Structure 1
Amino acid sequence: MAEHASREISQRELRNDSGAIMRSVEQGESFTITRNGTPIGRLIPIRRRTFVPKAEVMAAFATSPILDADRFRNDIDGAIDPTFSDREW
């Protein structure tokens, strides 16, 4: 998510126009809150999860290489001590 330049608003503007400001935040706008001209905080939208239909996910992975599970496990075992889980703590 690319960060956009935030608009500066005073603490007073935030208090007086909070409804409109919150609607703008919901639409993706960010604000820098100032007090006496000094920046004191940022108001930014929360990134919401986006539902991706199963068909789109399957299409995205359709061109991915097929994973050979045994070869993958051997590669992992070669890089990491395979007896690690057998150790007592």
Structure 2
Amino acid sequence: MKTITQRELAARSTAVLDDVEAGETYHVTRNGTEIAELRPLGTRRRFVPVDELWRKWRAAPAVDAARRRAEADGFFGGGERDGGDRG
């Protein structure tokens, strides 16, 4: 973590943001008091590899369809399932 003044941030914003993008965290001060933290956003993946999806799917608990249906009916009040008027 680095500390930088508001004035330094304004003067070197491009370089500071490049550092943040590379993983650095800055605390910004004004008149000697820390007022903000500038840090990278959490890393977000744009895709999940297929092998990871398969591992997670295989490790997921089994779903009991009849139990799930009973829970849904209990929550939503049962109702007709033949495509009747829902609205």
TM-score (norm 1): 0.68
Aligned-pair identity (%):
41
Q: Indicate which of 47, 52, 55 corresponds to 1:56.
A: 52
What is the Cα-based RMSD across aligned positions, in Å? 2.5
Q: 2:15 corresponds to which letter in structure 1?
A: A
For residues 25 and 66 of structure 1, what CA distance do their matches in structure 2 show?
43
Q: How far did residue 83 of structure 1 move?
A: 5.1
The 5 A counterparts of 1:27-42 are: 27-42=22-37
**Which structure has the larger Rg over C-alpha atoms?**
2
Give the distance between the partners of 1:40 and 1:72, measured in 2 at CA.
Answer: 50
Moved over 6 A (4+): none
The gaps in structure 2 that reach 5 residues or longer are 80-84
Q: Which 5+ residue runs of structure 1 have no aligned equivalent?
A: 1-5
